Amino acid sequence: MPSENNTAESLASGSFKLERYNKNIEDQLVEQWEKEQVYKFVDDGKKPVYVIDSPPPFTSGKLHMGHILSFTMFDIVARFKRMNGYNVLYAQGWDTQGFPTEVKVEKKYGRLPREQFVEKCHEWTEEYMEHMRWQAKHFGFSADWSREYVTLKPDYHKKVQLSLVEMYKKGDVYMAEHPVFWCPHCHSALAKAETEEIEREGTLWDLRFEIEGQPLIIATTRPELLHAVVAVAVHPNDERYKGLIGKTVTTPLGKEVPLLADEDVDMEFGTGAVMIATFGDKQDVVWMYRHKLPYIKAMDEHGRLINAGEFDGLKVAEAKQKVIEKLKAEGKVLGEKKLKQVVKIHDRCKKPVELLMSNQWFAKLLPYKEDIKKAAHEIRWHPDFGIHYLLDWVNTLEWDWVISRQRYFGTPLPFYVCPKCGHTEAVADDELPFYPEKAKGMKCPKCGADMKPEEAVADCWVDSSITPLVVAGWPDEGWEKYYPSDLRPQGIEIVRTWAFYTIYRGLRLTGEKPFKHVLLHGHVMGPDGKKMSKSLGNVVDPKDLLDKYSADAIRLWVAFSGTLERDRPFMYDQVKRMQNLVNKIWNASRFVQLVTEDYNGEDEPLTLTDKWILSRFYEVVNEYMKHMEEFNFYQAVTALTNFFWEEFCDNYLEFVKYRVYNDINKRSAQKVLRTVLEGVLRLYAPFAPFLSDYLYRAIYGKGTLHKGPLPTAGEIDASAVTYGKVLKESAEAIRRLKKKKGLSLKDELDSVELELPKEAEPFRQALEDELKKTVFVKAISWSLLTSKE
RNA sequence: GGGCCCGUAGUCGAGCGGCUAAGACGUUCCCCUUACAAGGGAAAGAUCCCAGGUUCGAAUCCUGGCGGGCCCACCA
C-alpha cells in the first residue's frame, strides 16, 4: 500500500507529506506506539507513580458510546499525567463472566454440560474481547496492554478465590440459610443491587378470611401465596380490630393462623388487615423474623408452587388465576380492582424476582457500615456530592451481601461443604485456582464425611471489586507500592455497586481504602436527548463514527460536550465542528512548517507582537494546567482552543505574514511560530493524540510527544499583552470598517479613526506601523481614551 | 415519602457574588484574501424558570413555588 509507506516515511523522517488529515495515520500510529512501547508502565523510580483503576468493561461485543465517552475521559487523565511527569500505571481489564453471556450462549447452543458450556462462553467472550480491544486502541486509549487482565482467566480466578479464602478465614464470608432475592428464570440467587423495579398494572382482590365466624376482608395482589400465609396483621391502634388481636383467623383455604398487631401495617390501605405470606415481599421477611413466624416454602427454584396442595407445580401467573377461579366459585372473592404496583425484576433478564429461603454464601457487610463510611470520607469525590450516593446506600443496607450464584460462567467459590453436618471449609491455597469438577476433595474435620466442592460461582461484583489490588499486582511481592490507586474513574450509577464493593473489599483485605480519588462521569444520551435505546432508534454506534470522523474529533467532542458529571446528548454537528478543529490544527501546522522550513535557529530580538502571543500562550498554559488538575477538561480545552483559533490563527499568523514573506524580523517570527505551535500540539496531545503526535513528529522530527513534557509558562510581559490586545482590536475594527465600505480585506483603506486606550499610548507608533503593514491601511488617526468607562 | 442534581438565545451548553452573560450548532449578509471554503469577515438572537429575601451589587447566595432528571425506601 503506497499511502501507508508515505505515512510511515513521514513518521520516521520528520517530513510532512500529507496535504490533508488522513485516517490512515491512525492505524500507523497505533502500530508505531506499540512498537515504541510509548505507554508501557516502567517504574524507574525517577518519577512519581500514578495508578488508574479503570473500569473493566463487560465483554458484550462492542464498545458503545458510553464506553467512548468514559474511556476518553480516563485516557485524557492518563495522558495528561504521563506528560506531566508521572509514571502512569494504566491497565485495562475486561469483565467477562455473568448472565448476559450465558443467556446468549444458551440461546445459540442450547443447554450443554457444564464444562462444555463454560468453554463456549470462553470462545464467545474471546472473540468479542478481541474486537473491543481493537476499538479501544483505535480510539487512542493509552493503556499498557501488557498489563491487561481478564476476569475469566485462571490467574484472575486465583486472585478472586484467594481474596474470598482470606475473608472466610477472618469470618467475613459464611454460608447460611436466609431469604434471598431469587430469579426463577435464571435459577439463581441475586444481590439487592442486581434488582430493578418496574411499574405495572396488577389486580388487587378483596378476599374473605374469617375470624370467630365473622368475615375479615383482606386485600391482596398475591392470592397464589395463600397456602404460605402464616399470619394476618393489623395496626395496634386500629379500632376496627381491637379486641380481635391474638385470635385465630381462617384463610380462604381453610388454614388457621394468628392475628397479630404490628406498627408497620398501613391502616389506610385496603381494609387495614394484611396477610403475611412467606414470602410475598421483603416486609413479610421482616415480619417473619420479628414475630418468629414459621416459614412455609411457597415455591421451588423454578418458581413453581409447592406445599400448595392442588396448586402444586403451577407457575405464579397460572396459579394466581386458578386460585382466584376457585375462590370465586366459593364466593370468597368480594372485590377486584386494578392497581398500579411496582415489581422487582432481575436487571439482566427483566423477569420478576421472588424471595426464597435458600442456603447461600454471604459476605458480612453490616458490621462494617461505619468503616466503609469513614473510608468514603477519606476519598476525594469529583464531583463532591458523589459521596452521597455511597453514604445513602450504606445507610439503607439491611442484609449482608449474597455472593453466590447458581450459575456456571463465573469464578467458582473456593469452598467445601459437608453434606452430612453442613460444616464448611475453605480450599487450601495450593489448590487455587479451584474448579469443583477437578476438586481434590476433603474429609469433613467435624464428622469425617466426604465434603462436596461448592458448585456455585461468585457474583461478578466479587470479581470486579478487587481491581485496585489486581492492578497493583496483589498478592505478589511489591503490590503495596501501587495500592491504593490514585484514581478510580467510573459511572455515577455504579457507585452503590462497584465503588461500594471495592471499598468494602479493599478495607477488609488490606485495612486501607482502595483509591484516593473517585472521578464520576455522566452519560451520552441519544441525539434526541433521550436515553439511547434500540426501541427508540436513537442509538449511535461508535463504529459508524470512527468510519466517518477522525478518532481525535470524537475524543475532542467528549471534552467539549460539557462538564464531566452531567449527561449530554450526542450531537453530530458538534463532532463535525471538532473535525473542523482537527483540520484547522492541521493547516496551521502546515503553514508554520512552510514558513519556518529555512529557520536556522538564529536568535533575533522578539517584537512586541511576538512577546504578546508568547505571553498569551503562557497565560493559557497556566489556565490549562489549573483546569486539568481539577479534571475540568472542558475548561482546559476551551481555553486552549479559543487561544489557538482566535489569537494564534486568526491574528498572530496574519500579523507575521508580511515578516516571513518579506524577511522583516523573520527569525524571531519563525522562532515564536515554532515555539507556540509546539506548545499547542503538546497541550492538545491528551485530547487529540493521533493528530498531535503525527504533526509533532513531522515538524519537529523528535519522536513521540506523548511522553511529555507539557509546556511550562514563561515570563508574561504585561505591556506586550496590552499591545497585542489593542493591535488585535484595532485590526478587527479596520476589518469592520472595510466590510462597511464594501471593500475586501486586502484592499487598502485610505484612513481610519481608532480609539487608543491610555495604557497603550506609548505604543502608538508601533501599532500604527504594524497595522499599516498587516491590515493594509494608509493613515490612522487616534482618539485617546483617558479612562475606562 | 427521603436524598441528590439540574432549569442560561431556536438547539447544545460554560460561567456559580462584581467588566457589554463564554463558546459552538443553526439563521442572515459579504468574501474562493497565496495554511485552511472542512475557511475568513460581519449581523441578528437571552425578562439567565417564577416569586420573595440577603447584599452597595445576584444568573451566581438563602427561602418558597413550578418544571425536568437520577438514586433510595414503601407499596398487602
pLDDT tens, position by position, A324-337: 999 999 999 998 88
Q: Enter the ipTM.
A: 0.93
Which nucleotide shows the minimum CA-to-C1' distance to residue A268?
A: B76
- CA-nearest of A346, A412, A378 to A193 is A346
Distance from CA(A83) to C1'(B69), angstroms, rounded: 37
Own/partner pairs for A365-374, CB < 8 Å, 24+ apart?
A365/A397, A365/A399, A365/A400, A365/A401, A365/A504, A366/A397, A366/A398, A366/A399, A366/A400, A368/A504, A368/A507, A368/A508, A369/A394, A369/A395, A369/A397, A371/A507, A372/A500, A372/A503, A372/A504, A372/A507
Indicate the SS3 state at residue A244.
Answer: coil
The answer to whether some atom of strand B lies closer than 7 Å to the beta carbon of A529 is: yes
Cell 385470635 -> residue: A247
Nearest nt to A395, CA vs C1'? B72
- pTM for this predicted structure: 0.90
Please tell me the distance from the alpha carbon of residue A217 to that of residue A760, in angstroms, as a whole number. Answer: 90
CB A273 within 8 A of CB A232: yes
User: Looking at the C1' of nucleotide B40, which residue has the nearest alpha carbon?
Assistant: A650
- Name, in order, each residue with C-beta under 8 angstroms of A686's C-beta and a sequence gap of 6 or more: A75, A76, A77, A79, A80, A83, A628
Answer whether A148's CB lies under 8 Å from A57's CB: no
Nucleotides of B under 7 A from a protein CB: 2-6, 12-15, 22-26, 30-31, 33-36, 38-43, 69-76
Q: Which three cell numbers stand for residue A464?
A: 470486579
Helices A500-510 and A369-378, packing angle to 10 deg: 100
User: Gap from A2 CA to B37 C1', in Å?
Assistant: 29
Q: Are A399 and A391 in contact (CB under 8 A)?
A: no
Task: Give the amino acid at A426.
Answer: A
Which residues of A spanning 241-270 put their CB closer than 7 angstroms to strand B? 265-266, 268-270
* Distance B12 C1' – A570 CA (angstroms): 9
CA of A385 and C1' of B62: distance in angstroms?
A: 20
Give the pLDDT confidence score for residue A282 in this predicted structure.
84
Distance A775 CA to B43 C1' (A): 22
The amino acid sitting at A640 is: L
Spatial separation of the C-alpha atoms in residues A763 and A390, rounded to whole Å? 59
The backbone torsions φ and ψ at residue A254, rounded to the nearest 5 degrees and listed phi first, read 90, 10
Query: Is residue A752 pLDDT above 90, yes or no?
Result: no
Question: Rounded distance, CA A161 to CA A429, Å?
Answer: 9
Write the CB contacts of A591 (distance below 8 Å, at least 6 apart in sequence).
A653
Q: Looking at A37-41, A265-269, A644-648, which range is the least confident one? A: A265-269
DSSP string, A739-754: HHTT--TTSPEEEEEE
In this complex, the answer to whether residue A280 has its CB under 7 A from any atom of chain B, a nucleic strand, is: yes
Query: For residue A488, what pLDDT band results from cuts at 50, 70 and 90?
Result: very high
Q: Among all strands, which nt has the closest C1' to A573 (CA)?
A: B25
Which has the minimum average pLDDT: A65-69, A231-235, A749-753? A749-753
Q: From the CA of A529, how many Å to the C1' of B50? A: 25
pLDDT of residue A702: 86
Q: Which of A773, A595, A586, A774 is nearest to A668 (CA)?
A: A595
Protein CA A244 to sugar C1' B65 (Å): 47
Distance A391 CA to B63 C1' (A): 27
pLDDT at A198 over 80: no
Name the pLDDT band for A11 (thresholds 50, 70, 90).
low
> Which positions 322-341 on chain A have a beta carbon less than 7 angstroms from any atom of strand B?
341
Please report the DSSP string for A187-212 in residue order: TEEE-GGGEEEEEEEEEEEEEEEEET
Tracing cell 498569551 back to the chain, one arrives at A616
Rounded-to-integer distance, Cα A361 and Cα A430, Å: 22
Q: Confirm if A481 and A49 have CB atoms less than 8 A apart.
A: yes
pLDDT tens digits for A437-450? 999 999 999 999 99
- CA A281 and chain centroid, separation: 32
pLDDT single digits (tens) A625-661: 999 999 999 999 999 999 999 999 999 999 999 999 9
CB A254 within 8 Å of CB A214? no
CA of A386 to C1' of B15 (A): 22
> Per DSSP, what are the bridge partners of residue A451?
A442
- Distant-in-sequence, close-in-space partners of A289: CB < 8 Å, separation ≥ 6: none
A5: pLDDT confidence band, cut at 50, 70 and 90? very low
Pairwise CA distance, residues A274 & A289, whole Å: 16
Q: Evaluate if residue A226 carries a pLDDT over 50.
A: yes
In whole angstroms, what is the distance from residue A678 CA to residue A684 CA? 10
Going by pLDDT thresholds of 50, 70 and 90, the confidence category of residue A12 is low
Burial classification of residue A596, based on how many CB atoms lie within 10 Å of its CB (0-12 exposed, 13-18 middle, 19 or more buried):
buried
Cα separation, A230 vs A296, in Å, equals 8
Q: Tell if A776 CB is < 7 Å from nucleic strand B.
A: no
The chain-wide mean pLDDT, for chain A, equals 90
pLDDT tens-place string over residues A681-739 = 999 999 999 999 999 999 998 899 999 899 999 999 999 999 998 999 899 888 888 88
